[in-house]
Structure 1
Amino acid sequence: MNKVIETMKEHRSIRNYTDKEISEEIVNELVNVAQAAPNSINGQQTSLIVIKDKATKEKLAELTG
């Protein structure tokens, strides 16, 4: 089987969050991967904002429901 198809079939989303700090290296890698991911019409119109401040995250969660 094609490695890409195999990877996609094995994908799982687990939404069980912790307060564990994520290293800057991992955050940067995730941002790079997200920016390279395909999207609708392949326009690459993705915008990412990294928020580490807990109070800001809570306010954002409140505002966005």
Structure 2
Amino acid sequence: MRPNGVKLFRTQSPRHFEGGDWNEGGSCQRDKPLSAEEVEELFSLDNNGTNVEARLVNQHLALQY
């Protein structure tokens, strides 16, 4: 990488709105951070650290097109 290069990092968070997305009447009922076990379940290294839910959505979309 060049000394003056720019690095971009993409992050993602697990879905945490229940009853719909944030813009569709859903709400977040959580009042504390995820436990280590919950983080492991959502961002399993078996899936290269990818959010499991995002992978399932992408697989579903791939089947439709």
TM, length-normalised to structure 1: 0.29
The structure whose residues are more often helix, as a share, is: 1
Which structure carries more relative contact order (alpha carbon 8 Å, separation 6+)? Answer: 2
Question: Given the two structures, how large is their TM-score scaled by the length of structure 2?
Answer: 0.29
